[in-house]
Amino acid sequence: MGGGGSSARRVTFEADENENITVVKGVRLSESVIDRMKEPSSSTARPQFQRRSASGDHGLLGGDAVNEEELKKRVTEELALEQARRETEAQKRLKQDQKYVRDEIGKVLERERAASNEHLTRAILRERAATEEERLKTQHFAKQLEEKDRELKKHDAYYKEQLARLEERSAQFYKVTTEQYQQAVKEVEARFKRYESHPICADLQSKILQCYQQNSHETLSCSALASQYFHCVNHAKQVGRRMQLLNGLWKILLDHLVNPSHLPMQDCS
């Protein structure tokens, strides 16, 4: 999050084979932040596996949603802490730079005033003890003093302008950092948003239940509906496999666009 550019930085996440978020790209985090992000992943892996074996795929989806919400909350909190720390450091650096500039201006002005006062004192002494020639020299020194004073005023205006630019840069850096943080929060929220799921072949399920209730003694009359239901389920499974394959291909393509070095190279010879 440097102050050199005004474009928002993109935040991406990488997952390992267990679908645990391991890398955050686009935001520089401290080592302590990374350690805190790693701690809950190991402690929650075993309960998640037990819930999977006990309740099946539906329980796993619920556990993943909770883990995603917890990770989203944790990343948001860590980004907020990192942003606050960087703002504090930026303010501290600004105050140090301002103090340094003021001290340097004071030192330069003090040296220039001391030198000017020394020249003026010598000129006055020569004027009292000398002749007309000395008085002419005194006038010449007075003119030089006026020029020096004008130069000092120019220097003072220059340093004030530099100080104003420094304050403006710090304000721009703070603005860019704030915008990048807000963009990172939006991308995290978009990355971990919840997706709605709907039952498969729900209309056929209701028809089959109604048929069995109406024909409890003649269940064979519902065989056509049962056959349609099994065909619908098999079709949904095939569509799901295709969607998983497409998602995998999209993931490989996006990973290649973000980092082309991850795509294996083929021998064209």
86, 1 in Cβ contact below 8 A? yes
Q: Would you state the pLDDT for residue 21?
A: 47
Query: How much is the pLDDT for 139?
Result: 84
Asked if residue 258 is part of any domain, the answer here is: yes
The reply to whether 92 and 149 lie within a common domain is: yes
- Residue 1 located in a structural domain: no
Q: Which domain holds residue 117?
A: 12-197
The answer to whether residues 104 and 228 belong to one domain is no
Six-digit token pair at 163? 């100080």
Q: Is residue 63 part of a domain?
A: yes
Which one is predicted more confidently, 70 or 4? 70
Measured between alpha carbons, how far is 68 from 90 in angstroms, rounded to an integer? Answer: 32
Within a domain: 139: yes
Helices (H), the chain: 31-129, 132-191, 202-214, 223-258
Q: What is the pLDDT of residue 229?
A: 80
Q: How many domains does the chain have?
A: 2
Q: At what angle do helices 31-129 and 132-191 cross, to 10 degrees?
A: 170
Nearest to 51 by CA among 67, 36, 37, 40: 67
Residue type, 170: S
For residue 249, what pLDDT is reported? 61
pLDDT tens-place string over residues 124-178: 776 676 677 777 777 888 888 899 888 999 988 998 999 999 888 888 888 888 8
| Locus of tokens 């020029």 | 147
Residues 155 and 66 in one domain: yes
Q: Measure the CA–CA gap between 134 and 128, rounded to whole angstroms.
A: 9
What are all long-range contacts of 256-262, with beta carbons under 8 Å and residues at least 24 apart?
258/12, 258/25
186 and 96 together in one domain: yes
Residue 88 pLDDT: 92
